[in-house]
Amino acid sequence: MPIETIFGNLQGLKSSQLKQLQRLYHQRISSDRITTPEFAQRLAAISTELNQPVCAYLNRRGQVIRVGVGTPRQTQIPPLELPRYGAERLSGIRCIATHLKPEAPNEAALTAMALQRLDALVVLNITGTGFTRRGGGATGYVKEAYLAHLVANSKQLVLTQSLGIITPDSALYAHVSPPLSLEAIADQDFLDLVESLEEEFQREYIAQEVDADHDRVVIVGVQTNDMTPQQFQDTIAELARLVDTAGGDVLQTLQQKRSRIHPQTVIGEGKVQEVALTAQTLGANLVVFDRDLSPAQARNLEAQIGVRVVDRTEVILDIFAQRAQSGAGKLQVELAQLEYMLPRLTGRGRAMSRLGGGIGTRGPGETKLETERRAIQRRISRLQQEVNQLQAHRCRLRQRRQHREVPSVALVGYTNAGKSTLLNALTNAEVYTADQLFATLDPTTRRLIIPHADTNEPQETLITDTVGFIHELPASLMDAFRATLEEVTEADALLHLVDLSHPAWLSHIRAVRDILAQMPITPGPALVVFNKIDQVDSETLALAREEFPLAVFISASQRLGLETLRMRLSELIEYAVDCG
C-alpha cells in the first residue's frame, strides 16, 4: 500500500486537495509533543477547504502514518492492521482530528479511540476566518481543542438493566479534558503522558491478571424469532458453562435480538462495534458466539473485532480434546477437529498464502494453504479408516456378548445428567465423575446383576456409560463418534437419564430424543429415569410425574430409588428381548 494513500470519503475531491492531504505524510512532529500549532493549523486549513473533518494518525516518532477524510470512527485503523499490544499497553498511535462544530469528542470518536487503544485523541474545533485563500476556498483556524485518552479503570462497564444488555459508558474508559487552547495542547509532554498511562495500565493488569492458561472470554448471543426468551437464556447459560468447562473465564455476555441472522457478521454493524469495544475495554482475547459460524463469518468478525472469534462447536471440540483419554477417544476427537478445520483454512494469515517450500510441496502454483488442505485431507482419510477398524473391533466384542446371550443396556442422556454417577452406584465401578459438561467421552461397560423379571433369579446384564448429548450436537461430532454411538444403537434397551434439577430438563429430553431419532439404526426401548430428585421441589416432581407417568425417580449420588430402578430395568430388558 503506498504511503500516500488517503483513506475515508474521497468523493468529489480535486487532485490539488488530494495532494495537500498527501503532503501531510511528509510532516514530522517532535516525539515529546502531541502536536504543534503549525501542524494543527495546517489540518484546520485543509479541513475547512474540504468542508469535511480530517484525521491524521501519528506514531511515537512523530511520523504521520495514516491520513483520512472523515471522523475518527470513519477513518479508524482496522484491528488487524494495528500494532500488537497487550492489555497493559497502548497502541503507540495518536489521532489528531478536526471537527467543524464547537463540541467535545462524541461517543463514536471515543469508541474509535478505545478500539484502536490510541495513545491520545486530539479534537480540533475549527472556526472560519471569513477570509478566502488565494485561488479560492475559505481558511479556518483552531478555536479550541480537546485532549482525550483512555483511563486505567477501563475494565468497568455499565449494565443497562431495562434492556438486559451491556453497554459501554465512555466516562468509565476515557478521560476528556475541558476545552483548551492550541498552545496548551502543544505544551503537553506527550511521552510523560503515555508513560504514566501505561504505568497505570500495567498496575491494573497485574492486579487483575488471571492464569495465563485461561482465555478471557466475551460471549455473544443472538435471539431469533424461532426462540422463546427462556430458550435463549438457557442457551446462553449453557454456553457459559461450556466455556467454563473448557477453561475460559467469561468476562461479559452481550445479546442481540434479530429477526434474521446477518449473512456476513451474524450480528448488526453497531453490535459488532460494541463487541469490539467490550473486548477491548475488558482485555478479552476470545469472543465466543452461541451458534455455528461459517468460515466467512468468522473471518469477517475477527477482522472487525480484532481478537480471535470461535463458535459453540469449537468450544465443544476443545473440551473433547482436553477430556479424551483413550486412544479411540483421541482418534475420534482429532477426526472431528480436522473435519471442522478443513473449510476454515482460508484467511488464517499471510503465511498461508506464500508458496510452499520443500520436497513434495512444490506443485505447479500450489500455495501453502493448498498444501495444508491436502495434508489434512490425507490425515482425515487415514483417521476414517482407523475409526472403521475401531467400529469393526467393537462390533466383534458385541457379537461375542450377544453369543453369550447377555442383554445390554446403554445409559444415555444430556451431558452432566449423572450417567457416570449412576453407573458407579449400580455396579460399584470407579468411573471418573465430576460436575462438569462432558466428563465422560469414552464408553465404559460394566457387569450388572439384576433380578429376572419372571423368576427373580439373579441375571447378568451389561450396562454401558456413553458420551453425553447436547442441544444441537455438532454434525462433525456425530460422524466422528459413530463408533461410540453404536453402543447406543446396538444395546437391547436404553436408560434415558434426565437431570430433573436443571431448569431446562424438558428441552434436554427433547434434544436427546432428537439425536436418537437421527441414529442410522433405531435404538431399543428406553426407560426415562429422573435423577437428582433430592435437589428439586415438590412442584417440579409433580410436573414430571404428570408428564412421564412411567418414569423412575432416583438420586444416584444419594442412592435413592435404585432398587425400584433395578426392578424396572429387569422388566425393560425382558420386554426388549421378547420384542427383539
CATH number for the domain that contains residue 294: 3.40.50.11060
Q: Of 311 and 439, which is predicted with more confidence?
A: 311
Q: How confident is the model at residue 254 (pLDDT cuts 50, 70, 90)?
A: very high
Pair (289, 423) in one structural domain: no
Could you read off the pLDDT of 177-206 as tens digits, one per residue?
999 988 888 888 898 898 888 888 777 665
- pLDDT, greater one: 372 or 558: 558
C-alpha distances in Å from residue 96, one per residue of 17, 151, 185: 19, 19, 11
Give the separation between CA 173 and CA 169, rounded to whole angstroms.
7
In the numeric block, the cell 453425553 is attached to 468
Alpha carbon 217 to its chain centroid, in Å, reads: 7
**Which of 57-66, 294-303, 469-478 shows the highest mean pLDDT?**
57-66
> Is 232 part of a structural domain of the chain?
yes
pLDDT, mean over the chain: 80
Q: Which of 310, 344, 365 is the last residue of a domain?
A: 310
Task: Cell 478479552: give the residue.
Answer: 284
* pLDDT of residue 356 exceeding 50: no
The residue segments making up the domain with residue 52 are 6-208
Edge-to-edge strand ranges of the sheet holding 216-223 = 249-257, 216-223, 286-289, 308-310
Of residues 435 and 498, more confidence is placed in 498
- Assign 339 a pLDDT band (cuts: 50, 70, 90): confident
Beta carbons of 498 and 547 less than 8 angstroms apart: no
Q: What is the chain's alpha carbon radius of gyration, rounded to the nearest angstrom? A: 31
- CA dist 187 → 105, 218, 224 (Å): 20, 40, 53
Out of 81-90, 304-313, 441-450, least confident range: 81-90
CATH number, position 448: 3.40.50.300
Same domain (yes/no): 162, 302:
no
Residues 138 and 270 in one domain: no
In a domain, 412, yes or no: yes
Within a domain: 362: no
* CA gap 68, 422 in Å, rounded: 65
Please check whether residues 165 and 301 belong to one and the same domain: no
Average pLDDT in the 113-139 region?
70
Nearest-angstrom CA–CA distance, 190 and 448: 75
Rounded Cα gap, residues 418 and 269, in angstroms = 42
| pLDDT for the residue numbered 541 | 94
Burial of 287 from C-beta contacts in 10 A (0-12 / 13-18 / 19+): buried
Q: How far is CA 253 from CA 129, 157, 218, 227, in A?
A: 50, 12, 6, 18
- What is the spatial distance between Cα 73 and Cα 108, in angstroms, rounded to a whole number? 6
Same domain for 155 and 23: yes
Q: Are residues 306 and 426 in the same domain?
A: no
Answer with the one of 208, 225, 249 that is the final residue of a domain: 208
Describe the chain by its helix, strand, coil percentages, rounded to 5: 45, 25, 35
238 and 160 housed in the same domain:
no
Full 3-state SS string of 476-521:
HHHHHCHHHHHHHHHCCEEEEEEECCCCCHHHHHHHHHHHHHCCCC
Query: Is the same domain home to 95 and 226?
Result: no
pLDDT tens figures, 9-51? 898 899 999 999 999 999 999 988 999 999 999 999 999 999 9
The answer to which of 148-157, 407-416, 549-558 has the lowest mean pLDDT is 148-157
Concatenating the DSSP letter of every residue in 75-109 gives: HPPPGGGSPP--TTS--SEEEEEEESSS----HHH
- Secondary structure of 210-249 in HEC code, one letter for each residue: CCCCCCEEEEEEEECCCCCHHHHHHHHHHHHHHHHHCCCE
Q: Is residue 508 part of a domain?
A: yes
In a domain? residue 385: no
With vertex at residue 344, the alpha carbon angle to CA 341 and CA 345, rounded to the nearest 5 degrees, is 90
* C-alpha–C-alpha distance, residues 151 and 317, integer Å: 38
Portion of the chain with pLDDT greater than 70, in percent: 77
Domain co-membership, 116 together with 141: yes
pLDDT at 163 over 50: no
Examine the domain organization and report whether 143 and 29 are in the same domain: yes
- Average pLDDT on 370-378 reads 73
Cα angle value 538/543/547 (rounded, 5°): 150
pLDDT at 534: 93
Other residues' Cβ atoms within 10 Å of the Cβ of residue 391: 14
Is there a domain that residue 394 lies in? Answer: no
Distance CA 154, CA 171 (A): 9
Contacts of 553 (CB under 8 A, 6+ apart): 500, 529, 530, 533, 541, 544, 545, 561
Does residue 569 have a pLDDT over 80?
yes
Q: Is the pLDDT of residue 487 over 90?
A: no
- Pick the closest to residue 223 from 212, 215, 214, 231 (CA basis): 231
Domain total in the chain: 3
Q: What is the pLDDT of residue 57?
A: 96
Per-residue pLDDT averaged across 106-135, rounded? 77
Q: Look at residue 253 in the predicted model and tell me its pLDDT.
A: 92
Residue 160 sits in the same domain as residue 18: yes
Rounded Cα gap, residues 323 and 468, in angstroms: 13
Query: Each residue of 400-420: pLDDT tens digit?
Result: 655 557 888 889 889 888 888
- The answer to whether residue 497 sits within a structural domain is yes
In a domain, 480, yes or no: yes
Looking at 178, 208, 238, the residue that finishes a domain is 208
- Give the number of other CB atoms < 10 A from CB of residue 542: 10
72/156 same-domain check: yes
